[in-house]
């Protein structure tokens, strides 16, 4: 690893210069300087500019430029609508290689609804106060122009409040060919029946070779532009899209955007551009894999900068996930789509996003990002007044003043936590500190496994879905045979460490844990033991009737090598009394860590945010950690993650922290904890896409492969990545992956990592 800087208050205190929102960073990448000048002057960007934006490693300037344009157009206003999706048929005469939704005409799993069946479905699923119904489906030879005209009339009669946004350009072209009509004539008949606007699907990639490889049965992409042009000339508004992340190149994407921009110059009817991330499961292109978070956000940002004549950029949470969609609001997107209610096409391709979002959830996502939610109708007219702006300021930091010579104060950190929601500013400052500590282009990770020896616990924390009381039918103590099998599986995967944690069992004394550790050290000397949180160790001492110091000494002598930072949650008594009143206190947590450090053991430190704590409490938490690190230097890393609510007693009782809040917290932690060498990404709670973005918000480590995880997954969050997946997201972010041990020493993989 590269030479590290000594911890201490003199290292790197970051001061964000608080400026009005439209301020440009000085680009690190010199290729972006002329592009930034064009953006500032509101000049149109070229093809070469678009490619340079896609390829730049200076992602923070890319983000800042896109967000500047988004703010120039819309301020803090962020749009959504209450809508519902409907697919009248999944039968299709075309079999596109990227599609997992379509069924052949004779497939028993295929369906085609009658008009009455469609109406019944709308009655059942349309949310209250919906203003839009989004209708697309397969190309069925029996569903003609007359069918859709009848359907639209029936919807308009029964649901006059629903704007009908329906039929892609591909569907309009299919109807025209089947009914021997022009595009214009089909559109006129459907408009007369109630068609109000068109979605943008079916664009894929505007390149003849790519088109031929992924959807050769479709008429050429020129028909897509022709149909939208005809619609615009008839007064219809439409959206436009791009399906990316399959076999196309960066150059193909930029060319696609320019063709849309040229069409908009001609007819002016596009309202929004919607980049669609390819979801590969159950398609003929499954081997292409999923897009990464950085690729998704680059595409959002580049589209905002290139498409200067299209008012809105939409982040489609169905395809990229809710967490990434929220972060995209800080990368140029101004529209979060809508409630959706039910969606089949993307979910058929493996999307793990929910089927619907409530209005309250949409508001929370937008407001947490420091923005103003605005309900719109399909044509972007405001439906209700925007929610009041919850923040008093919008800030942007200036990159050149990222690293200063004095330590960030407690009050400065509180001010950032309470007021600064600008991810570009925070990310750049945090990344600058990360690069100062770790200038080498390396991101580390470890191959390990969580082993939960028991789920019996006496603490009854309200945020926990894992524990079971003693005597519960689902309670357990792991038997030695199962334990051994788990360690053997870790060995086979090239692992080198177990993270050993469990509940606090009232009957297990120190001797039980010593025996377990000695067995592990004897039978698996090549596997490091990172184990037992501060609450566990403190209770071991109480149950065994010995001192805390003796407890840690005995665990160490039996084979324990390091201690994880779990059980911290929020280290203030206000929060602990509210969410875990039976658990050890803040002072007791620090007593465990201080004692371990005094005995020469290294530990990590953690935070679980989003359980109802005040912003100031998070900084109080960081301040206590910083003070102990000044005193002992015993923490190797800081890891924060967000509370996961499913199956817990706090479900629905606290406002959840989203991906935007997670990245904010990580950035501020990197700035404030100037004496911590390492910051880990919490991909286990955030997923691979946000986990990758954490590498640009202060993290220099991707954590672990975590072959097994039971605590977070019990709360409804299940993300998996093996060493190959971790290395893929690291390389895609422009870094070199490096396996490590707990102490951050570089190590060679024990088994080859697949490419």
Q: What is the average pLDDT across 364-369?
A: 93
The pLDDT assigned to 344 comes to 60
Q: Are 428 and 399 in contact (CB under 8 A)?
A: yes
Distance CA 257, CA 306 (A): 7
- Find, among 639, 642, 648, the residue nearest to 715 by Cα: 648
CA–CA distances in Å: residue 256 to residues 207, 243, 249, 400: 8, 10, 11, 35
Confidence class of residue 25 from pLDDT cuts 50, 70 and 90? low
The pLDDT assigned to 400 comes to 34
- Residues in CB range of 730: below 8 A, 6 or more apart: 443, 445, 692, 695, 702, 736, 737
Distance CA 118, CA 640 (A): 46
- Find, among 472, 471, 403, the residue nearest to 432 by Cα: 403
Number of neighbours of residue 627 by Cβ within 10 angstroms: 12
Q: pLDDT tens-digit profile of 172-222? A: 999 999 999 999 999 999 999 999 999 999 999 999 999 999 998 888 899
What share of the chain has pLDDT > 90, as a percent? Answer: 79
The CA dihedral of 409, 412, 413, 414, to the nearest 10 degrees, is 120
User: What is the chain's mean pLDDT, rounded?
Assistant: 90
Confidence class of residue 286 from pLDDT cuts 50, 70 and 90? confident
pLDDT value at 327 more than 50: yes
Q: pLDDT tens-digit profile of 236-248? A: 999 999 999 999 9
Q: What is the average pLDDT across 9-34?
A: 58
pLDDT value at 651 more than 80: yes
Q: Are 131 and 115 in contact (CB under 8 A)?
A: no
Distance CA 290, CA 276 (A): 12
Confidence class of residue 12 from pLDDT cuts 50, 70 and 90? very low
Most confident of 306-315, 384-393, 488-497, 709-718: 306-315
- DSSP string over 392-450: S---B--GGGSEESSPPPHHHHHHHHHH---HHHHHHHHHHHHHHH--SSEEEEE-EEE
Residue 456 is given by DSSP the state B
The pLDDT assigned to 127 comes to 85
Residue 3 is given by DSSP the state P
pLDDT value at 351 more than 90: no
- Tell whether the torsion through CA atoms of 43, 46, 50 and 56 is positive or negative: negative
Distance CA 63, CA 122 (A): 39
What share of the chain has pLDDT > 70, as a percent? Answer: 90
The pLDDT assigned to 350 comes to 54
The pLDDT assigned to 250 comes to 97
Confidence class of residue 1 from pLDDT cuts 50, 70 and 90? very low
Buried b (16+ CB within 10 A) or exposed e, 6-40: ebeeebbbbbbebeeeebbbebbbeebeebbeebe
| pTM confidence score | 0.84
Q: What is the average pLDDT across 710-730?
A: 73
Q: What is the average pLDDT across 385-401?
A: 35
Confidence class of residue 5 from pLDDT cuts 50, 70 and 90? very low
- Residues in CB range of 644: below 8 A, 6 or more apart: 465, 685, 712, 715, 716, 717
**Which contacts qualify for 576-579: CB closer than 8 Å, 24 or more apart?**
578/462, 578/612, 579/461, 579/462, 579/463, 579/611, 579/612, 579/650
Confidence class of residue 390 from pLDDT cuts 50, 70 and 90? very low
Tokens in use for 387?
A: 């929610």
Number of neighbours of residue 743 by Cβ within 10 angstroms: 10
3-class SS letters over 497-517: EEEEECCCCCCCCHHHHHHHH
The least confident of 374-378, 400-404, 592-596, 720-724 is 400-404
Distance CA 498, CA 525 (A): 12
Which domains are assigned to the chain? Answer: 77-375 (3.20.20.70), 414-739 (3.20.20.70)
CA–CA distances in Å: residue 739 to residues 4, 435, 582, 682, 726: 18, 19, 38, 17, 10
pLDDT value at 83 more than 70: yes
> What is the DSSP pairing of strand 403-404 with strand 13-14?
antiparallel
Confidence class of residue 27 from pLDDT cuts 50, 70 and 90? confident
Q: C-alpha angle 270/258/297, rounded to 5°? A: 80
Segments of 199-247 assigned E as strands: 237-244
The pLDDT assigned to 249 comes to 97
Confidence class of residue 7 from pLDDT cuts 50, 70 and 90? very low
End-to-end, the C-alpha distance of the chain in Å comes to 23
- Tell whether the torsion through CA atoms of 556, 562, 567 and 572 is positive or negative: positive
Confidence class of residue 348 from pLDDT cuts 50, 70 and 90? low
Confidence class of residue 101 from pLDDT cuts 50, 70 and 90? confident
- Find, among 579, 596, 582, 743, the residue nearest to 645 by Cα: 579
Q: pLDDT tens-digit profile of 501-522? A: 999 999 999 999 999 999 999 9
Distance CA 579, CA 370 (A): 26
Q: pLDDT tens-digit profile of 127-149? A: 888 999 999 999 999 999 999 99
Confidence class of residue 635 from pLDDT cuts 50, 70 and 90? very high
């Amino acid at each position: 690893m590269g030479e590290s800087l000594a911890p201490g208050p003199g290292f790197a205190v970051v001061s964000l210069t608080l400026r009005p929102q439209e301020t440009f960073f000085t680009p690190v990448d010199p290729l972006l300087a002329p592009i930034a000048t064009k953006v500032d002057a509101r000049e149109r960007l070229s093809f070469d500019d678009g490619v340079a934006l896609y390829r730049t490693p200076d992602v923070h300037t890319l983000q800042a430029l896109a967000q500047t344009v988004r703010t120039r157009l819309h301020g803090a206003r962020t749009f959504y609508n209450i809508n519902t999706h409907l697919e009248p048929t999944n039968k299709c005469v075309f079999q596109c290689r990227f599609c997992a939704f379509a069924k052949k005409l004779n497939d028993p799993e295929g369906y085609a609804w009658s008009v009455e069946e469609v109406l019944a479905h709308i009655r059942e699923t349309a949310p209250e106060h919906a203003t839009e119904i989004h209708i697309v489906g397969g190309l069925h030879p029996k569903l003609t122009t007359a069918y859709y005209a009848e359907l639209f009339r029936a919807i308009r009669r029964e649901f006059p409040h629903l704007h009908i946004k329906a039929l892609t350009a591909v569907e309009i072209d299919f109807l025209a060919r089947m009914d021997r009509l022009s595009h214009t004539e089909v559109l006129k008949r459907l408009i007369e029946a109630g068609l109000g606007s068109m979605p943008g699907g079916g664009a894929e990639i505007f390149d003849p070779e790519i088109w031929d490889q992924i959807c050769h049965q479709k008429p050429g992409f020129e028909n897509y532009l022709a149909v939208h042009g005809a619609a615009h000339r008839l007064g219809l508004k439409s959206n436009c899209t791009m399906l990316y992340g399959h076999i196309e190149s960066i150059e193909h994407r930029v060319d696609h955007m320019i063709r849309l921009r040229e069409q908009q110059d001609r007819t002016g009817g596009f309202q929004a551009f919607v980049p669609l991330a390819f979801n590969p499961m159950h398609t003929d292109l499954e081997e292409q894999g999923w897009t990464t978070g950085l690729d998704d956000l680059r595409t959002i940002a580049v589209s905002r900068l290139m498409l200067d004549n299209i008012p809105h950029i939409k982040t489609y949470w169905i395809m990229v996930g809710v967490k990434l969609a929220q972060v995209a609001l800080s990368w140029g997107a101004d529209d979060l789509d809508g409630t959706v209610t039910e969606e089949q096409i993307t979910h058929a391709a493996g999307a793990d996003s929910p089927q619907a979002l409530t209005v309250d959830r949409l508001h929370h996502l937008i407001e947490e990002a420091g923005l103003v939610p605005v309900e719109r109708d399909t044509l972007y007219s405001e439906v209700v007044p925007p929610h009041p702006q919850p923040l008093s300021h919008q800030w942007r930091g200036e990159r050149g003043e990222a690293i200063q010579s004095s330590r960030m104060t407690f009050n400065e950190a509180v001010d950032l936590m309470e007021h600064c929601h600008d991810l570009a500013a925070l990310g750049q400052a945090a990344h600058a500190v990360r690069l100062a500590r770790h200038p080498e282009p390396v991101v580390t990770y470890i191959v390990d496994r969580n082993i939960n020896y028991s789920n019996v616990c006496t603490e009854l924390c309200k945020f926990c879905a894992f524990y079971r009381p003693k005597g519960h039918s689902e309670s357990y103590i792991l038997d030695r045979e199962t334990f051994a099998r788990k360690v053997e599986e870790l060995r086979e995967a090239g692992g080198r460490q177990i993270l050993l944690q469990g509940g606090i069992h009232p009957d297990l004394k120190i001797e039980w844990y010593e025996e377990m550790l000695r067995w592990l050290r004897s039978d698996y000397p090549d596997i490091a033991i990172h184990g037992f949180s501060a609450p566990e160790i403190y209770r071991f001492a109480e149950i065994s009737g010995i001192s805390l110091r003796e407890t840690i000494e005995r665990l160490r002598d039996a084979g324990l090598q390091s201690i994880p930072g779990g059980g911290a949650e929020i280290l203030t008594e206000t929060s602990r009394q509210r969410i875990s009143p039976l658990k050890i206190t803040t002072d007791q947590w620090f007593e465990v860590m201080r004692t371990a450090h005094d005995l020469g053991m290294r530990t990590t430190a953690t935070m679980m945010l989003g359980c109802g704590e005040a912003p100031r409490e998070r900084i109080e938490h960081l301040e206590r950690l910083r003070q102990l690190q000044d005193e002992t230097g015993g923490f190797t890393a800081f890891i924060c993650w967000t509370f996961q609510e499913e199956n817990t007693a706090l479900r629905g009782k606290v406002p959840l922290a989203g991906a935007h809040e997670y990245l904010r917290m990580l950035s501020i932690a990197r700035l404030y904890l100037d004496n911590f060498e390492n910051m880990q990404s919490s991909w286990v709670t955030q997923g691979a896409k946000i986990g990758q973005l954490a590498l640009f918000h202060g993290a220099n480590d991707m954590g672990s492969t975590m072959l097994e995880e039971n605590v977070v997954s019990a709360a409804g969050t299940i993300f998996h990545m093996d060493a190959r997946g971790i290395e893929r997201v690291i390389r895609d972010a422009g870094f070199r992956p490096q396996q490590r041990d707990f102490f951050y020493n570089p190590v060679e993989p024990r088994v080859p990592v697949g490419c």
